Amino acid sequence: MPEVTYARYEGAAAARLLGAFLPAYAEVYAEPPYGEGPRDVAEFAEHFRAHVRRSGFRLVPARDGDDGRRTFAVIELAVRQAWRRRGIAAALHARLLDGLDVERVTLTVRSEPEAGPARAAYAAWGYRKAGVSRPWDGAPLYDCMLRERSP
């Protein structure tokens, strides 16, 4: 059994961890007797963002040795227009992932047709669409893409 570690976070440090533990929250509270779904999870996240600003708020997650190291998220990958179609994005992507010891890589791309070239590049690099997200109120839709890593 992996070793479990505990750490305490307060304020802004705790706020930054919402995305890390929200999937666990969703899993636990989907079970009976709660039966919570996506709307409930979104409501919890909203309440968490309010509570974390209160004085004295603490978050103590329990993690195993592998937690947080199985997935790598590409947040931004951008190439200036004059440099596109030269393999630069592919080279940046390859160097970014080089040596990573993770099970999967995720990224998001806008859903509009104009994002088609980026979406096509990601597909050519082994990503597949895994879902759709709207990361914040009023945000456009994004396609969530996933790439499994070879062992």
pLDDT of amino acid 99: 87
71-148 CATH fold: Aminopeptidase (3.40.630)
Tell me how long the chain is: 151
Alpha carbon of 77 to those of 28, 111, 118: distances in Å? Answer: 34, 16, 10
- The answer to whether the bond into 33 is cis (omega within 30° of 0) is yes
pLDDT tens column, 74-132 = 988 889 889 999 999 999 999 999 988 888 999 999 989 888 899 999 999 999 999 99
pLDDT at residue 149 is higher than 90: no
Task: Give the per-residue pLDDT at 150.
Answer: 65
Phi-psi region of 131 (alpha: psi -120 to 50; beta: other; left: phi over 0): left
Element (H, E) at 63: strand 62-64
DSSP 3-state assignment of 127?
coil
pLDDT digits (tens, 9 = 90+) for 36-76: 999 999 999 999 999 999 998 888 887 776 665 688 889 88
